[in-house]
Amino acid sequence: MPVVPAHVTKEIFGAALRATLLLLAVVSVVGVGVGALVAGTPGVWGALLGVAITLLFSGTTILSMVWTADRSPSTTMAVVLGAWIAKMAVLVVVLATVGQMDFFHRVVFAVVVLVGVVGSAALDMYCVVRGREPYVSPR
């Protein structure tokens, strides 16, 4: 049984999910614009692919936390670990598949992924710290 009310945790991770989606919308617009200026169509594809990979990584973690907010810590840990393993497998397959193709600009892709993942992690931390979640429920 969780020691913190589930609605508190869901609110915090809901805020993190909204912030991440907003960040990725901004990164999409800026990344596509810069990618188009730097490398044309391959730059656009690099930015779009980078945002998709970032959404896969950041989104699955946050959704796992929201989904398991009212479950035990061991269940949360198992789901988050399972999601991490699954997204690593997907990443390996995607990178092995598209890594041999030349339709996207690799530098634009790498920069968009870096900005998206680091920005998402920073927003997650900010939302959790600002959420003021108690360590235990008052009785």
Is the pLDDT reported for residue 34 higher than 70? yes
The dihedral built from the CA positions of residue 14, 15, 16 and 17, taken in this order, carries a sign that is positive
Mean pLDDT in residue range 37-47: 96
> What total of structural domains would you count in the chain?
1
Give domain status of residue 66, yes or no.
yes
Give domain status of residue 136, yes or no.
no
Give domain status of residue 137, yes or no.
no
Give domain status of residue 138, yes or no.
no
Residue of 55, 53, 26, 30 lying closest to 43 (CA atoms): 30
Give domain status of residue 1, yes or no.
no
pLDDT digits (tens, 9 = 90+) for 89-124: 999 999 899 888 999 999 999 999 999 999 999 999
Q: What band does 128 get if pLDDT is binned at 50, 70 and 90?
A: confident
Range of the domain at 66: 6-131
Give domain status of residue 17, yes or no.
yes
DSSP, res 132:
T
Give domain status of residue 103, yes or no.
yes
Cα–Cα distance, 62 to 13 (Å, whole number): 6
Give domain status of residue 139, yes or no.
no
